[in-house]
A and B are shown apart, each in its own frame.
Chain A
Amino acid sequence: MTIVSALVSMSCSNDESNFSPTEQPLEIPEIFADNILSPIIPTDNPQTIEGVALGKKLFFDKILSANGTKSCASCHSQQNAFTDNTPTSTGIDGIAGNRNSMPLFNLAWNYSDRFNWDGKALSLERQAEEPVENPIELHSDWDNVVSRLQAHPEYPSLFEKAFNTSIISKELTTKAIAQFERTLISANSKFDNYFLGTATLTDQELNGLDIFLREDKGDCFHCHGSPNNPLWTDNEFHNNGLDSIFTDLGLGAVTGDPNDNAKFRTPSLRNLAFTAPYMHDGRFATLEEVIDFYSEGLQDSPTIDPLMKKVDEGGVQLTEEEKTDLKAFLLTLSDSSFLTNPVFQEQ
């Protein structure tokens, strides 16, 4: 069987192309390797040096937009942990969308493989398809994008190196972007180093961690995880009590199930210092507002998650000191090296 496979493989590679992309497995941080399952890499889109390089070029290239004014990076900026700093992002026509741009990191560990706030995209490759044609984002057309890439002086050869073919397609374009996005790994926060034994937390930060983990205090861990899960999200969908009347159905609009109304994907708490404003619609400008919301601002509704505590009192009722300590802990999840990593920068 192995011999037959090898023969078939050699036969194909001789017939189609002289290029052989070089495998580039993800560099898995120690804290991930030790504590959580391996990342999800599609078998039909392995990580390669050439694929990642091509994806990075595409990610920063405004050629994907209809009028050449915006790229993926326009709303996913490295200095903001690959999100932007506005409540909702503005597309090429100056029209604001209705969702906050999600930060991009540690995406290969989204085991459910559902992306976007509402879980509409069922893989990272498919996620990369939608913004190109979305009229309030890049407002382009994939046929036109592919034509422009095909006519470009560099892209056909880059696709050939990455995928053994110079014939460009939507599928290969999004595969390359997804490969680059999977390399966006953040695992070097103060808390990561504390967990690895190479940093210390202040008493205030430790008290904040305690509040985070106590079911009778913050009870943040049921959705956002604990020190043993460095993702700081469950990547699941919850109604966290933002509204009593829904204007955005979230997952419910995708599944058509009213039980899913107003459920949105849990965002990671990692890099919160860089990703304001917060929530799916960017309604909270500061971390203080977010903590106040969970403490006193919960709104009851039929689909609110049963994990939300003391809903009738508006939330978990933290003291001002507890709020301050909780914020101090949350800021230890910031990985500033992620913002300056030259590997992720446009070249």
Chain B
Amino acid sequence: MKKSFVFLTLSMLFLFCCSDDDGNQPLEIMTTFKFSHNWDGALVTNINFNAIQYTNANGDLLSIERLRYVVSDIVFSNNERTIELDMHHLIDVTNNDMVFTPQESIPSGTYNVSFTFGLDNEDNSQNLPDLNTANFNVPQNLGGGYHYMQLDGKFVNANMEEQGYNYHAIRAADNPGPNPTFPQDTFFEVDLGSIDITTNVEIEVEMNIAQWFKEPNLWDLNILNQMLMPNSQAQILMFQNGQNVFSLGDVSQ
């Protein structure tokens, strides 16, 4: 309590001091990130789940029943500074958890904004209770850590029967067992481009779900549907297709 009081007092003195001395200091801005989802432009929310109503680039009819993924390490950079928010958040479309506001504020300015899809290898090696709680773990025989994404649903297979698919993105691993090897990193940076941030801001990030199945690798669900976690080649294909999945949406200030 005593420490808190001292800290509070010093903080207030610091704040008053700063505001008196320099009226040109950049404002401290809170940023909110809102993730929205579409299928080639058609809005997708959990209301649209469970019905076979989407057609991927390969012509497979499919539904979405579960979609959740991790975003982490948001970076704001310009000529003056680079601010990295060391954080992660599980975007859970199934349960409508798609908005978050990082605790740290940033000074106003024009920044290039980026984030990581999934977790970099350092973060992925941490014990993250929120992701443990969400049962987002990757088994130790594949290197441990966490899923980057779980996209589950059903598709109509070549026999015209509904079949489950699990498009689960993780860190690609070979030689499952006590000493797996990692052919390449499969998390990736998403660059949202330049954003002029002048006051508290909500940044919309759009995910085109169809893109996961489209390019550069045409995704045939009859071939790649389930048990993709131990399939490092499938993980690399997901990584490649993910490069153009995200884009900047509305910026509201």
Which residues on B sit within 8 Å (CB–CB) of A36? 129, 132-133
Are A225 and B227 closer than 8 Å at their CB atoms? Answer: no
Interface size of B by Cβ–Cβ distance < 8 Å? 29
CA distance A305 to B162 in the complex (A): 12
Contact with A307, one of B49, B152, B161, B162 (Cβ below 8 angstroms): B152
- A242 CB to closest chain B CB (Å) equals 16
Which residues on A sit within 8 Å (CB–CB) of B229? 215
Are B133 and A111 closer than 8 Å at their CB atoms? Answer: yes
Main secondary structure of the interface of B (DSSP, over half): mixed
- B168 CB to closest chain A CB (Å) equals 8
Are B139 and A306 closer than 8 Å at their CB atoms? Answer: no
Are A306 and B153 closer than 8 Å at their CB atoms? Answer: yes
Residue of B133, B137, B162 with highest tally of chain A CB at under 10 A: B133
Which residues on B sit within 8 Å (CB–CB) of A307? 152, 164, 166
Query: Per-residue 0/1 for B91-113: is the Cβ within 8 Å of any A Cβ (1 yes, 0 no)?
Result: 00000000000000000000000
Query: Per-residue 0/1 for B150-168: is the Cβ within 8 Å of any A Cβ (1 yes, 0 no)?
Result: 0011100000011111100
Query: Per-residue 0/1 for B172-189: is the Cβ within 8 Å of any A Cβ (1 yes, 0 no)?
Result: 000010000000000000
Interface size of A by Cβ–Cβ distance < 8 Å? 31
Are B137 and A229 closer than 8 Å at their CB atoms? Answer: yes
Q: Which of A56-64, A308-316, A338-346 contacts B (4 or more CB under 8 A)?
A: A308-316
CA distance A228 to B132 in the complex (A): 6
Contact with B227, one of A34, A302, A309 (Cβ below 8 angstroms): A309
Main secondary structure of the interface of A (DSSP, over half): loop
Interface residue? B217 (CB, 8 A):
no
Which residues on A sit within 8 Å (CB–CB) of B164? 304-309, 311
CA distance A200 to B228 in the complex (A): 31
Please list the residues of chain B having a beta carbon within 8 angstroms of any beta carbon in chain A.
49-50, 65-66, 127, 129-130, 132-133, 135, 137, 139-141, 152-154, 161-166, 176, 226-230
Are B230 and A35 closer than 8 Å at their CB atoms? Answer: no
Please list the residues of chain A having a beta carbon within 8 angstroms of any beta carbon in chain B.
34-37, 111, 210, 213-216, 219, 221-223, 225-229, 234, 259, 302, 304-312
Q: Closest B residue to A316 by CB, please name it.
A: B227
CA distance A36 to B132 in the complex (A): 6
Which residues on A sit within 8 Å (CB–CB) of B226? 215, 309-310
Are B163 and A312 closer than 8 Å at their CB atoms? Answer: yes
Are A214 and B230 closer than 8 Å at their CB atoms? Answer: yes
Which residues on B sit within 8 Å (CB–CB) of A304? 164
Are B127 and A228 closer than 8 Å at their CB atoms? Answer: yes
Which residues on A sit within 8 Å (CB–CB) of B141? 210, 213-214
Are B163 and A216 closer than 8 Å at their CB atoms? Answer: no
Which residues on A sit within 8 Å (CB–CB) of B140? 213, 227
CA distance A310 to B226 in the complex (A): 9
Are A37 and B130 closer than 8 Å at their CB atoms? Answer: yes
Q: Closest B residue to A308 by CB, please name it.
A: B164
Which residues on A sit within 8 Å (CB–CB) of B227? 215-216, 219, 309
Contact with B139, one of A214, A234, A310 (Cβ below 8 angstroms): A214
The verdict on A226 contacting B230 (CB below 8 Å), with A35-B132, A306-B152, A307-B164 known, is no
